[in-house]
Amino acid sequence: MPRIPGISWEEAVRVFRKIGYKTVREGKHTVMSNGVIRLTIPRHNPINSFTMGAIAQDAGLTPRQFKELLKHYPATSKMFDGNQQRHSTVTSKQFFDWQTSGGTNDVMCLIDCLERADIAWCAIGGLAVNHWAKNPMVTQDVDIVVAAEDVERAVKLLEEAGFHAERFEWSINLKGQSALSIQCSTESFYREFPARAVPADVHGILMRVASLEDTLHGKMRAWTDPARRQSKRIKDLADIARLVEAHPHLWDLLSDELKGQVQKTD
């Protein structure tokens, strides 16, 4: 069992809030949820090290990852410059760059290549969800779709820009200089998504994302894929829940099976 010693409940709540969890109940414990996973945090100072390690593990964090998040999101600190007082903050783009080991440069390079060549494209998956949902969550997966007639031209341009391309039956995986995993889907299901894409600011980066309905349908398709790993399907369900929470009318578009999994909001 992992141990994380010396953590107060306020610090724990702050870290989990930054990765998309919301407080749903407070009492002797603080209960937080991201729509799928529930965390129960005892209001102790400090929290037992084994208990804290188990809570972080439930959220999918190793002790090292938890401590890194805590370091980047300390309690609001005040910095003084003469008689002027200001608050030190980390921007969304800086956090994304840290979490992906330099992923901002890879994403901006990818966008620059596609936009300069006037190629129709859009982000799908987690990045698109982060635009449409509340409280964006950092992901190391960047899923995109490119207009079918421009796929080969796009891959050539990206390879010339330094990306390594690896081809699979239904996707082309691209690797740049960071920890990001970039996947260009070639499935016919996504073919019309770029035509309905909208401009968006995601993690402080200007890009194109799939429309709200397309984003939901893409996540629903991923969730129903029996070959997809369980951990991925759990995240897909959480993303669907986040979309419905932010846009309640989407609940009517869910399958009966999903309606049994996702709570309807007013």
At 161 the pLDDT is 94
At 87 the pLDDT is 40
40: how many CB neighbours lie within 10 A of its CB?
13
At 203 the pLDDT is 80
At 84 the pLDDT is 37
Domains 9-72 and 93-255 fall in the same CATH topology: no
User: 99: phi > 0 → left, psi -120 to 50 → alpha, else beta; which?
Assistant: alpha
At 257 the pLDDT is 94
**Could you check whether the bond before residue 226 is cis, i.e. omega within 30 degrees of 0?**
no
At 82 the pLDDT is 38
pLDDT in tens, 176-227: 998 888 999 999 999 999 999 999 988 888 899 999 999 999 999 999 999 8
Task: Determine the distance from the C-alpha atom of residue 24 to the mean position of all C-alpha atoms in its chain, rounded to a whole number.
Answer: 21
At 83 the pLDDT is 40
At 65 the pLDDT is 83
CATH topology of domain 9-72: Metal Transport, Frataxin; Chain A (3.30.920)
pTM for this model (two decimals):
0.67
* Contact partners, residue 256, CB within 8 Å, separation at least 6: none
* Contact partners, residue 64, CB within 8 Å, separation at least 6: none
Nearest Cα neighbor of 186 from 129, 142, 229, 143 is: 143
Tokens of 39: 């965390």
- Flag residues of the chain having pLDDT under 70: 72-95, 97-99
CA dist list (Å): 36 to 2, 16, 234, 238, 241: 22, 14, 8, 5, 8
Is residue 61 within 8 A of residue 69, CB to CB? The reply is yes
3-state secondary structure of 49: helix
Q: What angle do CA 244, 128, 237 make, to 5 degrees?
A: 45
At 216 the pLDDT is 98
Domain 93-255 = CATH 3.40.50.10860 = no
Domains of the chain by residue range: 9-72, 93-255
